[in-house]
Amino acid sequence: MQNDYILRAIIGEDEALALIAISTKTVEEARSIHKTFPTPTAALGRALTIVGMMGVTMKGKERISLQFITSGKIQEIYVQGNAEGHVRGYIKWPQIEVPFTQDGKLNVEGALTNKGFLYVVRDFGFGEPFVGSIPLQTGGIATDVAYYYTVSEGIPSAVGAGVLVGEDNHVISAGGFIVQPLAGSARDEFLEKLEENIKNMPPVSSMIANRASAEDILSEISKGIGYRVTQIHPLKYKCTCSHDRAKRALLLLDLEELMSILKEDHGAEVKCEFCGKIYRFSEDDIEKIIEEKTQNLPQA
């Protein structure tokens, strides 16, 4: 299986930006980490694919996160992406079962529902992050991100993402696209042709399952228009957790809770919700954390 990647291109006469993702290995790794059932796999996979494409439009140490909070069975999906094409994420209820749709497909919309919100956080590495939010429209992940772009950022966008899960629960294929007209450049006939191409193309997950490359998908989107590839970014699931970050999480606890951990548990375990790695702290470690926290408390 080829490595995952994101292709960046310009369509037409500098009239639209296109991002195309092949994310099969990335989504399969997320499924393996979180032990997701098929519908949560598809939901988390769509979100990871899209945040990966959004992430590579950032610069340097900037990063972006998407958080879906709903009243549906899944309840929450949180994903992050950065300029290097690294993504990570989690889903609150990874092992739920949802009836298929009437046409026999995984029912992501039914698992999330449209009763909730999408929060988008752009962290530029300095100052306050930019936070945008919208009420969910469908729970379909891609359609809600497209609605966010249009309403919150004023960028009409075509967004698609798909995950094909096999009978053994493993990911067969995953990928997606984001297409956005460039301000002031797109002709009406160009936009009409682009919309027609996207409407008539096969599902992205089916194309990838049939060995389509990102450029093959781009060719379908830009049929009769033309394009030029500008960049190719690697895409992978990568967590940034560490023992030091786990320690900082313990330092956020109040002294009473730390004393209780020391007295009753004689140590602590901190599990990363993104990758499942466990960081262990001994009784001595907890004593040192208590001492450090006590020293940093303001004097009365």
What stretches in the chain show pLDDT beneath 70? 1, 185-186, 296-300
Structure token pair of residue 215: 């450029």
Residue closest to 43 by CA, chosen among 163, 177, 206: 163
Q: Quote the pLDDT of residue 299.
A: 55
- Measured over the CA atoms of residue 247, residue 249, residue 251 and residue 254, the dihedral's sign is negative
Topology of the domain comprising 5-237:
Hsp33 domain (3.55.30)
Q: Quote the pLDDT of residue 295.
A: 81
The reply to whether 5-237 and 243-296 are identical in fold is no
Superfamily of domain 243-296: HSP33 redox switch-like (3.90.1280.10)
pLDDT in tens, 213-245: 999 999 999 999 999 999 999 999 999 999 999
Q: Where are the domains of the chain?
A: 5-237, 243-296
Whether the Cβ atoms of residue 178 and residue 158 lie closer than 8 Å to each other: yes
Q: What is the CA radius of gyration of the chain?
A: 21
Q: Quote the pLDDT of residue 104.
A: 84
Q: Quote the pLDDT of residue 36.
A: 97
